[in-house]
Amino acid sequence: MSLPPPNSFPGLLTAPEVRAEGGKSVSCTTSSQNGSTQEFSPQERAQLLRLAHDSISSALEKSGEISLDVPNPRFAEPRGAFTSLYLRGELRGCVGYVDPRYPVYRAVAETARAAAFDDNRFPPVTKEEAPHLAIELSILSRPQPIQAGEVEVGRHGLLVNWHGHRGLLLPQVPVEHGWDRATFLEQTCRKAGLPADAWQHGATIEAFTAEVFGDKT
């Protein structure tokens, strides 16, 4: 199996805001490694990061093709994933899947390419920029229902649903901003376009963890 060209990945989510009307959305921000789980070995992390870089470079070379043959059974499990691109320390693109739509290997390849070329906040990555990109991956666990009092800042990401509104924040976001649990819940609701206290009035709360790693970790 090979990867299709940019602009052809259904369900991928860019991230200007964590907000959606009856749909899905994501947030990307300069992140922290605090609270990141560790499932993949250093060698497996390196494989996934190399895949992300190769996915971008193959598109720039106009071949558009990259093998998606899974080299490791661990990479065959469907998972949500986000790819964040940084250039000279500044965010250059971030795109992801919230839901476990595809095997993690394919999800990384697709989100990397989409972050480079399909994030409408930024112009497409150029050949000159590509060698200087730093990549960070967030591999998500499956979201599970959780009670508000069980949310752990720095460990959990949150997904809030209510009346067709859906908002998501990755685990590293509250750590970076210094939020406590209540603020984290409120901000996830706000990003869904809901009142800040919706989590206290019937909104569904789901939590997930993320393994966050990048070129410098």
The sign one gets for the Cα dihedral 106, 109, 113, 115 is positive
45 and 124 both lie in a single domain: yes
127-137 pLDDT per residue, tens: 999 999 999 99
123 and 75 both lie in a single domain: yes
- Which one of 98, 125, 141 terminates a domain? 141
Domain that holds residue 173: 144-209
- Taking residues 29-42, report their average pLDDT: 62
44-58 pLDDT per residue, tens: 999 999 999 999 999
55 and 90 both lie in a single domain: yes
The confidence score (pLDDT) of residue 31 equals 43
Domain total of the chain? 2
121 and 160 both lie in a single domain: no
Say which residues have a Cβ less than 8 Å from residue 136's Cβ, sequence separation at least 6. 31, 83, 84, 86, 212, 213, 214, 215
The confidence score (pLDDT) of residue 21 equals 30
**Closest C-alpha to 144, from 190, 82, 80:** 80
The confidence score (pLDDT) of residue 17 equals 35
- Which one of 141, 168, 183 terminates a domain? 141
134 and 177 both lie in a single domain: no
Kindly tell me if the per-residue pLDDT of 187 is higher than 60. Answer: yes
Instruction: Enter the pTM of the model.
Output: 0.76
78-137 pLDDT per residue, tens: 999 999 999 999 999 999 988 888 999 999 999 999 999 999 999 999 999 999 999 999
The confidence score (pLDDT) of residue 170 equals 84
- Which one of 111, 141, 171 terminates a domain? 141
In a domain, 28, yes or no: no
